[in-house]
Amino acid sequence: MIVNIDKEICTGCRMCASICPVDAIEGKQGEVQSINEDKCIICGQCIQICSAYLSEFEEDITPVDIKLKERGMLETVKEPLFAAYNMCDVQKVKKSLSNNKLHKVVQCAPAVRVALAEDFGLELGTLTDKKLAAVLRKMGFDRVYDTNFSADLTIIEESTELVNRVNEGYDLPLFTSCCPAWVKFMEREYPELLNHLSTCKSPQQMAGAIFKTYGADIDNVDSKNVFSVSVMPCTCKKYECDREEMNSGGYKDVDVVITTRELAYLIKDMGIDFKNIEEGNFDNPLGDYTGAGTIFGTTGGVMEAAIRTAYELITKESIPNIDINCVRGENGVTKSSIDVGDMKLNVAVVSGLENVVAILEDIKNNKSDLHFIEVMTCPEGCISGGGQPKVILDKHREIAYDNRKKSIYTHDSECTLRKSHENSSIKKLYEEFLGEPLKEKSHHLLHTEYASRKEKN
């Protein structure tokens, strides 16, 4: 399993069970807990909240060096080992970096750059996009690209999909499909509503498909030699990259996913001075992005980015206010009605998976008037993902999430371009390679199908 509970360390406090949105953690108070694999959506929130750790004074327990190996971690890791953990894939990345036969490509999600610095003693929420690019290049990646680029690409496809559904009046509301834990939940619990789920792959998977096709052509390398690494705030992205349908370019879209924490392990292992490294930039053209791409990292970001583009697709006019504050949600459900030309676009932003059930039931019973719904499993969106730097104290967690969110919106406001459809590299991608949104080539590479997993109940 990707997410696990160490039976030697677990104290049975059930803090993990209190935060699990699908009741996948089982066990009595004071006894060792276990994870129901069928129910688990791999969000990693149990990892974030777990406070039971291995004491160096423990006797008759598996030695730390063996536990590190069992978890796939580097032997140089010095942080405490907690009971709830995810399997690490950093060893695979380290091995690939020493393989000169591979063309090594890396992408980084928007939430990574506002959290990574915390593992190096910098202030909570510090934005380190340029340091991040420099570190990855120093590690030995041949191309340092950005998931923000494919977030812009996702908006072009998803906004076009939304406009088509609104104009033709079918399968509404449309749900976002960026969050793999949400998708996994939908497949298992509400497969009868899968037609409402966007067919768009997530930005991670779209990027992987483009890297091994268009990107390989740009670099004049064979697609089979492209090794694609993704750095994500999310533990469920590991599951997503291994889904059998995520290989539309002929090869697995993304070869391996590591979390923000795992990247920190690797930086320290390689002796790179994160604090003082000279800043760099992501590679072009697949590293270009707009402010719309960067706000994907927080609750309401996908919705806001989509509206910025959908408004102009529908009205053929510039959106009057690019900052759509009414969709910048907190934990829970935020509903809004947006004026788009002559129509009212009814939207909802759902943060925290437990909050989506009532909406799903309304849709089943034909009681919903919504057009578009963003769903993120984690309480503040990707900034609070299971793979982000661990924050132990509640008071610090609140500050961390608030600061990460502020950094993301500041980054957006400072971007020269803030609408996905204004990204010149995205325009070039369509002109030279994809053709038009939702047409044959883009649909083949950038879209997917989801299926019922209800039989596992």
Catalytic residue among 37, 75, 192, 245: 245
What is the per-residue pLDDT for 248?
Answer: 84
Query: Residue 204 gets which letter from DSSP?
Result: H
Pairing of strands 34-35, 25-26: antiparallel
Active site residue 240: yes
- Per CATH, the homologous superfamily of domain 143-446 is Fe-only Hydrogenase (Larger Subunit); Chain L, domain 3 (3.40.950.10)
Catalytic residue among 201, 237, 238, 390: 237
Which alpha helices (H) appear in 118-246, and where do they start and end? 129-139, 147-168, 180-189, 203-210, 216-219, 236-241
Active site residue 398: no
413: left (phi over 0), alpha (psi -120 to 50) or beta: alpha
Identify the CATH number of the domain defined by range 1-86. Answer: 3.30.70.20
pLDDT in tens, 55-105: 776 778 899 999 999 999 999 999 999 999 999 999 999 999 999 999 999
Catalytic residue among 150, 177, 198, 228: 198
Active site residue 237: yes
Active site residue 161: yes
Strand partners, 374: 349
d(CA 262, CA 91) in angstroms, rounded, equals 10
pLDDT in tens, 373-422: 999 999 999 999 999 999 988 889 999 999 999 999 999 999 999 999 99
Catalytic residue among 241, 382, 390, 407: 382
Mean of all residue pLDDT scores within the chain: 94
Active site residue 382: yes
d(CA 395, CA 255) in angstroms, rounded, equals 37
Interaxial angle between packed helices 147-168 and 301-315, expressed in degrees from 0 to 180 and rounded to the nearest 10 = 50
Catalytic residue among 50, 131, 150, 161: 161
pTM over 0.75? The answer is yes
Burial class (CB in 10 A: 0-12, 13-18, 19+), 311: buried
Catalytic residue among 118, 157, 158, 187: 158
What is the per-residue pLDDT for 451?
Answer: 87
Dihedrals phi, psi of 163, to nearest 5 degrees:
-60, -45
Pairing of strands 343-351, 372-376: parallel
For the chain, which ranges sit under pLDDT 70?
57, 455-457
Rounded to whole angstroms, what are the CA distances from 226 to 150, 217, 229, 248, 250? 18, 11, 10, 15, 12
Q: Tokens standing for 173?
A: 């509301």
Dihedral, CA of residue 429, residue 435, residue 436 and residue 441, to nearest 10: -100
Are residues 64 and 44 in contact, defined by beta-carbon separation less than 8 angstroms?
A: no
Catalytic residue among 157, 187, 240, 380: 240
Are residues 30 and 12 in contact, defined by beta-carbon separation less than 8 angstroms?
A: yes
Q: Long-range CB contacts (< 8 A, 24+ apart) of 212-219?
A: 212/249, 212/250, 212/251, 212/253, 213/249, 213/433, 213/445, 214/286, 214/429, 214/432, 214/433, 214/434, 215/105, 215/143, 215/145, 215/286, 216/103, 217/433, 218/285, 218/286, 219/103, 219/142, 219/143
One DSSP character per residue, 159-187 reads: HHHHHHHHHHT-S-SEEP---HHHHHHHH
What is the per-residue pLDDT for 431?
Answer: 97
Catalytic residue among 178, 179, 200, 234: 178
Are residues 230 and 203 in contact, defined by beta-carbon separation less than 8 angstroms?
A: no
Strand partners, 230: 107, 257
What is the per-residue pLDDT for 455?
Answer: 60
Count the Cβ atoms, other than its own, within 10 Å of residue 61.
12
H or E element at residue 48? helix 45-49
d(CA 301, CA 296) in angstroms, rounded, equals 5
Same fold, 1-86 and 143-446: no
Count the Cβ atoms, other than its own, within 10 Å of residue 5.
22
What is the per-residue pLDDT for 262?
Answer: 98
For the chain, which residues make up each domain, given as ranges?
1-86, 143-446
